[in-house]
Amino acid sequence: MTASDLLEVDDLHVDFHTRAGIVHAVRGVSFAMGREKLGIVGESGSGKSMTGRAILRLVAPPGRVRARRLAFEGEDLIAARESRLREIRGKRVSMVMQDPKFSLNPVMTVGRQISEAYSVHARVAAGEARRRALDMLAAVRIRDPERVYDLYPHEVSGGMGQRIMIAMMLIPDPDLLIADEPTSALDVTVQLQVLAILDDLVGRRGMGLIFISHDLNLVASFCDRILIMYGGRIVESCAAGELASARHPYTRGLLECLPRLDEPRDPLPTLKRDPAWLAGKV
Amino acid sequence: MLRVNELSVVFGQGHDALTAVDRVSFMVEEGASFGIVGESGSGKSTVLRAVAGLIPDWGGEISIAGKPRPRRLDRALARRVQMVFQDPYASLHPRHTVDRVLSEPLTIHGVSGVEERIERVLADVGLGSAFRFRFPHQLSGGQRQRVAIARALVLEPSLLLLDEPTSALDVSVQAEVLNLLARLRRERGLTYVLVSHDLAVIAQLCDRLAVMNQGRVVEELGVAQLRAHEPAEAYTRQLMTASLGYDPEAIAAFKDFSA
Amino acid sequence: MTAANQGWRARLLSDAPASRGQARLGQWYRGWLTFSGNWLAMLGLLIILALLVIALLAPWIAGQSPIAQDLAARLQPPSAEHWFGTDAFGRDIFARVVYGARITLMIVVLVAVTAAPLGLLVGTVAGYLGGWVDAVLMRITDIFLAFPRLILALAFVAALGPGIENAVLAIALTAWPPYARIARAETLTLRGSDFIAAIRLQGASPSRIIRAHIMPLCLSSVIVRVTLDMAGIILVAAGLGFLGLGAQPPLPEWGADVSAGRKFLLDQWWIATIPGLAIFIVSLGFNLLGDGLRDTLDPKNGGGG
C-alpha cells in the first residue's frame, strides 16, 4: 500500500459530558492510513464505533470530539466548518452502518435513494443519475437492477439491503469508506458475499476502507492492517497476517477465548482483564 | 429425554401460509447435549419454541421424558423444561430485581426454602449474593445472561433449551458463559438442546447436531465428524467454510441453497 | 451532617443494594434525581403541592366562610378586607377560590382513582388475552371513545341529575377509554417479549402475568397520560359547572363561579377572572407535572416507578 496520507488521526478524544461526570469514550487514538483496508476491532464499549463516527465529526451532543490533528488528504477536519464537513461527508468519505433497515428511507424506493445520493454531489440530469444508479446496483451484484430499483426498503432481504446501502455509499465515488459492522446483522455466508463485493469495489477504485467489527477472525482475514481497541485506546496495531503473533495480552486473550472447530478445548481459556490496560492519563 | 417426530409448524393461513418447520425429527438422550445449527429463517428457533410450548399450533409429536407434550403450556412441565433466550437485554423484566426474577417461579410452584435456593443458584452461576437485589440495568450483558440461566435453573429442570445463548455477547463473555453452561451440565446432569448459527459454539457444547435449512433438517451428525471436516452434505460444508473467515475464492464457489 | 448526608446518598445510589427495600428506594431516588433536574416539572409539582396544602388547610387560609352572604358588600373590588373582592352575593372570592381547591381536588382524585385503574385493567386484559376478549373489550372502548367527552358527560348528567357526584361519574366514564387504548398498545408490544415468554414457561397464570409483569410497565404511561389529562378534566368539570350541570350553588366550584361572574365581566372583572386564573394555574401545574413524569418514568431511562 502507498504512503499513509489519506487520513491522519493524532490523539483523538471523544468525551461525553453528563450529569454523572465526564465519560471518555475514546482516549487518545492515533493512526494514519492510506488507500488500504484498515480493520478496527474491539468489544462493546471499546470506542471503536465512536472512533469511526468521530472521524466525520458525527458525534451527537453532549459528546465532544478533540484531536491534536484530524486530517483527510491534508485538510484539517477539526477546524473545518460544518458546511465544509457536509461536502466531505458523502462525497469524499462515506459511512455504512450496521442495519440497512434504519439507514434507508422507508417511503422512498431504493433506486431513487441511490440516484439522489448521486445527484446531490454531481449535478446531473435525472436520466443520467438513474443510469448510474442501475450500474451501481449491478456492480453490487444485484441480478435484476431494473426491478430492484423500484422496490421499497421493506421489500428487500437483509443481504440485499446491505448491498443497496453499499451501492448508495459508493456511488459518489468517495475516497474513504467507513463501514461500521456492515454485515453483522447478516448470515455468515451472505455476510461473506457482501464483503467480497465490497472488497472488489474498494480494490478496483483504489479507495481506503475502515472496517469496524467485533469479529477478530473476520477482520484478520479481510483487512490489510488491524487496530485493536480496548477501553477507548488502541492497545495493539499490526498487519493482518501477523495477528497470530500479537503481543498484547488483550489481543492474545481475545484470540484464545474463541471456540474452535478444529481444536476442542474444555474449558475455554477466558480473558483476564488487567486494570493496567486502562491506566495512564486520559 | 426428548423425542421430536415429524414436527411441522405453519405460520399464517391460506395464501400467506409459511411452513417454518417441515417434518423435523430428532432424539436427544438423557444427559446429552444436542445442537441445531442453521441460518436465519431455517426454523431452528421455531423448533425450540415449539418444544418449549411457546407455539401452540404444531403438527407431529413431541415427547418429553417418555410423555407426549401437551399443546398448551403446562405448569407441571415447567419444572422439567426451561429455556434461556438469546438477548439478555430483552429476557429480563426491566423493573424486577434479580431477587424477584428468581423467587417468582418458586412462589408459583409453592417451593419452600426460597432463600437457600436463590443463594445457591446465584452462587452456581458465578454471581455472588451482592447481585441479588440489583435491577437489570445495573448488570452487564454477561451478568444478565447469568441471571437468565439462574432463572432457568431455579426450578431444577432436567432439560434446558438454549436459544443462541451467547450470540448477543462479546466473545470474551461468550467464553465465560459457554464454560458455565458446560460446568452446569456436568454438575447437574442436565440435558441441553442448543440452537446457534455458530458451528464452533455448537461444537464446543454439544455431542451431536442437526443442520437445518429452509425448515428441514439437512443432516444430523456427530461433532467428531464435524471436527474432522467430514459432513456429508454440501450445505454443511459451505457453512463450515464460511465459519473459517474471508476467502474470496471459497466465496466465489458459494451456492445458493435457498431454492 | 454532610458526611451522614453523603452516606445515605451513596447507599441509595449503590449499584449493589443489600436488600429489597434499598433496591426499591434507590430506584425511587434515581427517578427523583431525574425529575428534580427539570425545573418546569418541579414548578408543576410545586403548584400541585400548593393545591393540596390549600385544600387541606382551607378553613385556616380562607379566614371566612365561602358561602356567607353579605348583600351590603356585594361586587366589591379587591381590598385589604376582601383580597380578591366579593361576588354578586357579597361572598368573599378569596374564600371561594380557596374552598374551591377542595372541590377541584376531589374531582381530580375521584376521576383518577376510577378511570385510570379501569382503563389499565381493560387495556392490559384485552391486549394480553387477545382474540374475542380483545374484540369485545375494544369495541366497548370504541363506543365510549366515539362520543365527545363533554357531550357524553352532559347526557349522563342530564339523565342522572345535576350535581358534583354525577359530574365526576360522567367524567370518569368518558375518561377511561384512552387509558385502555394506551395500555393495550403497550401490552401488545410487551406480550411478545422474551421476559413474558420466560415467565409463561415458568407456569405463571395469565392473571399473574398481567398483574405483576405487564401492568407495572403500562402504569407509567397511563400515569403520565392521566396527569396530562387532569387539566382537561378540570376544564370539563368547570365546563359542567359553568353550564350549571356540575356543582350546584352555593358550592364554591371554580367553573360555576366563572359562569356566575361572566355577567359582570366588564365592570367587575375580578369575579370571573380570579377563579378562571385558578383553573388555568392548576391545569398548567398538572401539564408540567405530566411532562416531567413522562421524562422520568420512561423505561428507556431506567427510571423508577
Cβ(A239)–Cβ(A225) below 8 Å = yes
- Tell me the average pLDDT of chain A: 86
CB contact under 8 A, B134 and C15: yes
For B24, phi then psi, to 5°, come to -95, 130
CA distance between the termini of chain A: 32
Q: Are strands A75-76 and A37-41 parallel, antiparallel or unpaired?
A: unpaired
Q: Above 60 in pLDDT, residue C2? A: no
Cβ(B49)–Cβ(B57) below 8 Å = no
Across the interface, of B171, B178, B240, the residue whose CB is closest to A261 is: B240
pLDDT at position A261 is 85
CB contact under 8 A, B246 and A189: no
The distance of Cα A210 from the centroid of its chain, to the nearest Å, equals 5
> Which residues of chain B neighbour A101 with C-beta distances below 8 Å?
none
What's the pLDDT band for C5 if we cut at 50, 70, 90?
Answer: low
Residue A149 grid coordinates: 430499483
Q: Does C27 touch chain B (CB under 8 A)?
A: yes
Collapsed DSSP state (helix, strand, coil) of residue B93:
coil
Residue B29 grid coordinates: 438422550
Bridge partners (DSSP) of residue C140 are: none
Residue B80 grid coordinates: 422439567
The minimum CA-CA distance between A217 and chain B, rounded to whole Å, is 6
Spatial separation of the C-alpha atoms in residues C100 and C249, rounded to whole Å: 12
Spatial separation of the C-alpha atoms in residues B96 and B24, rounded to whole Å: 37
Q: Is the pTM of this model over 0.95?
A: no
Q: Does B218 touch chain A (CB under 8 A)?
A: no
CA distance between the termini of chain C: 29
Spatial separation of the C-alpha atoms in residues A108 and B231, rounded to whole Å: 45
The minimum CA-CA distance between C158 and chain B, rounded to whole Å, is 45
Shortest CA distance from B42: residue in chain A: A187
Bridge partners (DSSP) of residue A229 are: A234
Interface test with B, best of A48, A98, A160, A188 (most B CBs within 10 A): A188
Domains of chain C listed by start with CATH number: 40-301 (1.10.3720.10)
> Which residues of chain A neighbour B200 with C-beta distances below 8 Å?
258-261
Cβ(A101)–Cβ(A153) below 8 Å = yes
The minimum CA-CA distance between A208 and chain B, rounded to whole Å, is 18
> Which residues of chain A neighbour B199 with C-beta distances below 8 Å?
261
Bridge partners (DSSP) of residue A18 are: A21
CB contact under 8 A, B134 and C212: no
Spatial separation of the C-alpha atoms in residues C97 and C103, rounded to whole Å: 10
Higher-confidence position of C70 and B158? B158
Handedness of CA A146, A152, A157, A159 (dihedral sign): positive
Across the interface, of A191, A254, A266, the residue whose CB is closest to B171 is: A254
Residue A237 grid coordinates: 496495531
CB contact under 8 A, C201 and B95: no
CB contact under 8 A, C203 and B78: yes
Q: Does C2 touch chain B (CB under 8 A)?
A: no
> Which residues of chain B neighbour A190 with C-beta distances below 8 Å?
39
Q: Above 90 in pLDDT, residue C157? A: no
Across the interface, of B85, B108, B138, the residue whose CB is closest to C194 is: B85
Shortest CA distance from B99: residue in chain C: C20
Q: What is the mean pLDDT of residues C130-137?
A: 94
What's the CA angle centered on A184, arms A181 and A185, to 5 degrees? 125
Q: How confident is the model over A71-82, as pLDDT tens digits?
A: 999 889 988 888
Q: Cβ neighbours of residue C20 under 8 Å, at least 6 residues apart?
A: B97, B99, B133
Shortest CA distance from C194: residue in chain B: B91
For C246, phi then psi, to 5°, come to -95, -125
What's the CA angle centered on B153, arms B148 and B159, to 5 degrees? 110
Ordered DSSP codes for C175-203: HHHHHHHHHHHHHHHHHTSHHHHHHHHTT
Chains touching chain A at 3 or more Cβ pairs under 8 angstroms?
B
CB contact under 8 A, C217 and B75: no
CB contact under 8 A, C15 and B93: no
Q: What is the mean pLDDT of residues A90-119?
A: 82
For A234, phi then psi, to 5°, come to -85, 115
The distance of Cα B175 from the centroid of its chain, to the nearest Å, equals 16
pLDDT at position A165 is 85
Give the CB-side neighbour count of residue B27, counting CA atoms within 13 A: 3
Cβ(B51)–Cβ(B25) below 8 Å = no
Quick one: which of B90, B108, B208, B190 has its CA closest to B148? B90
Interface test with A, best of B204, B207, B236, B238 (most A CBs within 10 A): B204
Shortest CA distance from C28: residue in chain B: B95
The minimum CA-CA distance between B95 and chain A, rounded to whole Å, is 22
Q: What is the mean pLDDT of residues A183-195?
A: 83
Q: Does B174 touch chain A (CB under 8 A)?
A: yes
Q: Does B177 touch chain A (CB under 8 A)?
A: no
Q: Does B90 touch chain C (CB under 8 A)?
A: yes
Q: What is the mean pLDDT of residues A24-30?
A: 92
Q: Does B200 touch chain A (CB under 8 A)?
A: yes
The minimum CA-CA distance between B1 and chain A, rounded to whole Å, is 25
Q: Above 60 in pLDDT, residue A3? A: no
Q: Above 50 in pLDDT, residue C305? A: no
Chains touching chain B at 3 or more Cβ pairs under 8 angstroms?
A, C
pLDDT at position C265 is 82
Q: How confident is the model over C14-45, as pLDDT tens digits?
A: 777 778 788 888 878 888 888 888 889 999 99
pLDDT at position A282 is 53
CB contact under 8 A, A270 and B179: yes
Helices C149-160, C164-191: axis angle to 10 degrees equals 140
pLDDT at position C142 is 92
Q: Above 70 in pLDDT, residue A280? A: no
**What is the DSSP code (8-state) at residue C86?**
B
Q: Does B198 touch chain C (CB under 8 A)?
A: no
- Those residues of chain B that have pLDDT short of 70 are 259
Q: Above 60 in pLDDT, residue A146? A: yes
Residue C285 grid coordinates: 401545574
Across the interface, of C27, C204, C216, the residue whose CB is closest to B135 is: C27
Across the interface, of B170, B175, B245, the residue whose CB is closest to A221 is: B245
Handedness of CA B109, B115, B117, B118 (dihedral sign): positive
The minimum CA-CA distance between A112 and chain B, rounded to whole Å, is 28
pLDDT at position C245 is 81
What's the pLDDT band for C129 if we cut at 50, 70, 90?
Answer: very high
Q: Above 70 in pLDDT, residue C299? A: no
pLDDT at position C303 is 40
Q: What is the ipTM of this complex?
A: 0.91
pLDDT at position B213 is 93
Spatial separation of the C-alpha atoms in residues C2 and C10, rounded to whole Å: 12
Across the interface, of A43, A259, A264, the residue whose CB is closest to B172 is: A43
CB contact under 8 A, A261 and B171: no
Between A13-17, A182-186, A210-214, C257-261, the lowest mean confidence (pLDDT) is in A182-186
In chain B, residues 151-180 whose CB comes closer than 8 Å to chain C: 151, 155
Across the interface, of B40, B245, B248, the residue whose CB is closest to A217 is: B245
pLDDT at position A101 is 67
Q: Does C161 touch chain B (CB under 8 A)?
A: no
CB contact under 8 A, A258 and B171: yes
